[in-house]
Structure 1
């Protein structure tokens, strides 16, 4: 997951926006973010086929 690589380079407090179009990401992205110590700051937002996630670096 490229998002995890990007999150590793970010500073505490920064937010990464992820745009996905795979229905499985609706569950897998939040699970992986929390599992690796990041915070999902909103519920996933669906716009057409795109799903938007906002993940914050907390530590």
Structure 2
């Protein structure tokens, strides 16, 4: 997951928006983010085929 690589280089408080088009990502992106110590901000939003996630660095 490229988002995890990007999050590693970010500082506490910074936010990353992830856009995915795979239906499985609706579940896997939040699970992986939380598992690695990041915070999912709000609920994923769906627009057409795209799913938008907002993830905050908390460390």
- TM-score bracket, shorter-length normalisation: over 0.9
What RMSD in Å do the two structures reach over aligned CA positions?
0.3
Q: Which runs of 5+ in 1 are unaligned?
A: none
Q: Which runs of 5+ in 2 are unaligned?
A: none
- Alignment of 1:57 with 2:42, yes or no, is no
Counterpart of 1:10 in 2: which secondary structure?
coil
Return the alpha-carbon distance in structure 2 between the equivalents of residues 53 and 44 of structure 1: 5
Counterpart of 1:37 in 2: which secondary structure?
coil
TM score, norm. by length of structure 2: 0.99
- Alignment of 1:11 with 2:7, yes or no, is no
Task: Give the superposition deviation at 1:42.
Answer: 1.1
Aligned pairs for 1:25-44 (under 5 A) are 25-44=25-44
TM score, norm. by length of structure 1: 0.99
Runs (4 or more) in structure 1 with deviation over 6 Å come to: none
What number of residue pairs does the alignment pair up?
Answer: 59
